[in-house]
A and B are shown apart, each in its own frame.
Chain A
């Protein structure tokens, strides 16, 4: 049996409040593709960052070609022949292809200056050998995403990397481009490179991977040869006991239909989206990143314009042309990144809370500060916000309290439907529990909630029903009673089409 080119053993890494990796191991073999499989939050990105020298493991050892190494910097990882091609290419749009390929290790002349002629020639021959017809002199921004990936690969080859990490390389590619990428991966294999291939898509894992390693909740839960393992066995490893978490889901009284969406379509992002939402219900939206869930929600909220379809709120048809229209119609959207899209740092708390409700708290465009204060006090007290004064700059609050301000501001608009996009992404476990408890409270008060989430336990733990989206379409709608998580994962990944 061949020796692994790279071995990780006993790797652990913690961040304040979060254990990202615990005692994981991984082997990469020359001339083989190892697929790294796991849910969002399983620790894959952390592992990649450790391999590329961006994070330092708290414990554990890294062995490259039989030699124990440490990778204190990205440069050190480079030096050991490890390179990563990321989901979003980390290249430079304004530089030429050749410059991108050789940035940081360009061939030099005798005088230590960059040897442009040699750089161009080497880049051209490299791209040629990959069968990629890319002119090394064009600027990177003129290339499509697939060709940018090829440039990333060329860069990997130019530094003579032995270990190539591909982090969801096909996420943004078309089918044809994916086929071309497979050919390249074959080439790399024949060259004896060890490849770590991170993907959510089972069809491609079974197509190109030789081995697999499964992570779940920061632990390594299984590994083996792809050819000897059935798909649903891998899915079961991924999902595991992760649904056993205790969620504060209380069954609310399910009432009449509040929101109806029929045939909602967009020219490029999604098509034929139809679903219903009832009073007191939490509707989970599950799917892979890029499945079009956020885009659908933004259309409901008037940020993007759908090309067809009907939206009905409490029997009234609405066609929100702006966020203001949607708020008026009783739909609010709490976006994913609350730092960027949530609070307005620099404005006091009460002004943040009243911002979307200014139409109601002001008369003919004239502000009524007393009214704004009353509104802010009502909702921040309900959420138990800790602040010395409502006139305090929202930026001086802790993250959890800022989150409360965001929620208060949306509740203050007196909505019918609340859309929460990845409500617990990147927050610690305690805050997560608080957000979940709050969702239960919301539906208990007769609101209805759409929760977009990529975290399977959260979706399974909080939803009454679950809509699974895949490639811009609804792949299935499931009742969350006795639902097997495997079904969800397989539907989202396109292994199974809904028969239920």
Chain B
């Protein structure tokens, strides 16, 4: 039982519950299922992106280009929809996943084949992708009036009490849980991150594993591109600017080690929900947006301190006594 509560995910869930309870005492509407569902819907995109980022961080990398990728694929989808309303939205969604995947694969190839540090690669592609949004759109916006009704409605349709946007997130999260727990690919993300040398000797291609992580992260970002544009009914150069940092923050708060190899899907999702709850709760109790940023920041640092302590306890390395020779 104590073990159960010591688990990071359980702790984080408890903290989120406490925050919700505290805010509800000040503003009774906050804790209602209806509002919580709205908060989840609000956090859906962040949670999905955090899952993609989880894979990348597990392999000792980082993907800063996700928000720019989202903006670019979202813009492309919106422009196609505006120009050719007859193209089924389902086709557009698949197209977004493919385009996002290609943008992610581009990151992956640079990291895998050219051995460039991931932070440099994705800092570069962040700028490139963001610039490309301007190039394809010519700096203009795609507004609600330009989009087809179906394009706008798909994320809003309510199924079993939840909007489709939430269902998208739930399906993506479920797929990630399966990927990590039940496939050899999922296992190789952990092995490649914890001990790349041992993984190599065990027959895992560490570079290729990173490539796959970046590609999947890109696919999720592509999907998120459509969802974002559909939800906020606007596509512009500035869409989701800075979101990549929140995605990384969600992972870190969720216990994903930035050094690689440690982290779970549940943690990443809870990290995202934590940020979502904070962002939604603070305005309700009348805290200024600047305090929100400070509180998010404090949460990140607290999480990192917890991570560092948690990792220090892990196992013990065999002491090298070869020096005695």
Contact = CB atoms under 8 A, between A and B. Distances in A.
Interface string A24-54: 0000000000000000110101100100000
Given A324-B205, A342-B198, A367-B183, A396 B325 contact: no
Nearest to A45: B325
Contacts of A301: 201
B314 A339 contact: no
Q: How large is the interface on A (under 10, 10 to 19, 20 to 34, 35 or more residues)?
A: 35 or more
Contacts of A43: 325
B183 A40 contact: no
B321 interface: yes
Contacts, number: 124
A341 B325 contact: no
Indicate the member of B186, B187, B194, B199 with the most A CB atoms within 10 Å. Answer: B187
B265 interface: no
Given A347-B190, A396-B315, A366 B195 contact: no
B194 A367 contact: no
B261 A346 contact: yes
A351 interface: yes
Contacts of B322: 425-426
A342 B194 CA distance: 12
A395 interface: yes
A356 B198 CA distance: 10
B231 to A, nearest CB: 33
Interface string B298-325: 0000000000000000111111111111
B321 A323 contact: no
Given A45-B325, A355-B191, A425-B322, A345 B203 contact: no
A345 B195 contact: yes
A46 B315 contact: no
B177 interface: no
A20 B194 contact: no
A365 B183 contact: yes
A323 B206 CA distance: 11
B147 interface: no
A111 interface: no
A426 B321 CA distance: 5
Interface string B193-216: 011011111111100000000000
B36 interface: no
A20 B324 contact: yes
Indicate the member of B190, B191, B198, B320 with the most A CB atoms within 10 Å. Answer: B198
B199 A427 contact: no
B68 interface: no
Nearest to B197: A341
Contacts of B182: 366-367
A15 B184 contact: no
A24 to B, nearest CB: 15
B314 A362 contact: no
Contacts of A467: none
B306 to A, nearest CB: 17
Given A20-B324, A20-B325, A339-B317, A344 B184 contact: no
A20 B205 CA distance: 40
B185 interface: yes
Interface string A303-317: 100000000000000
B262 interface: yes
A419 to B, nearest CB: 11
A366 B182 CA distance: 6
B91 to A, nearest CB: 27
Contacts of B187: 351, 355, 358, 367
A402 B325 contact: no
Interface in A342-384: 342-347, 351, 355-356, 358-359, 362, 365-367
B200 to A, nearest CB: 6
Contacts of A335: 201
A212 interface: no
A425 B135 CA distance: 60
Interface in B244-267: 261-262
Nearest to A44: B325
Nearest to A351: B187
A471 interface: no
Indicate the member of B182, B314, B321 with the most A CB atoms within 10 Å. Answer: B321
A340 B322 CA distance: 14
Contacts of A327: 202-203
A483 interface: no
A345 B262 CA distance: 11
A175 B186 CA distance: 50
A40 B190 CA distance: 37
A441 interface: no
B202 A356 contact: yes
A346 to B, nearest CB: 5
Given A18-B321, A426-B322, A393 B315 contact: yes
A427 B190 contact: no
B317 A346 contact: no
Interface string B136-147: 000000000000
B201 A367 contact: no
A325 B187 CA distance: 19
Contact of A340 (B195, B319, B323): B195
Contacts of B195: 340-341, 343-345
A270 interface: no
Contact of B205 (A322, A340, A346, A399): A322
A343 B195 CA distance: 8
A338 interface: yes
A323 B315 contact: no
A338 B323 contact: no
B324 A18 contact: yes
B203 A347 contact: no
Contact of A346 (B183, B314, B325): B314
A211 interface: no
Contacts of A428: 321
B325 A347 contact: no
Nearest to B199: A344
A428 B321 CA distance: 8
Given A323-B203, A346-B261, A341 B198 contact: yes
A362 B203 CA distance: 15
A215 to B, nearest CB: 12
A426 B201 contact: no
B202 A355 contact: yes
Given A346-B194, A358-B187, A365-B184, 8 more contacts: A46-B325, A327-B203, A340-B195, A344-B195, A351-B187, A365-B185, A367-B184, A399-B319
7 contacts: A18-B325, A339-B318, A341-B195, A344-B195, A345-B314, A359-B203, A396-B316
**Top 10 A-B pairs, shortest CB-CB distance:** A395-B315, A426-B322, A324-B203, A15-B324, A399-B318, A356-B202, A358-B184, A355-B202, A18-B324, A323-B203
Interface of B: 181-188, 190-191, 194-195, 197-205, 261-262, 314-325
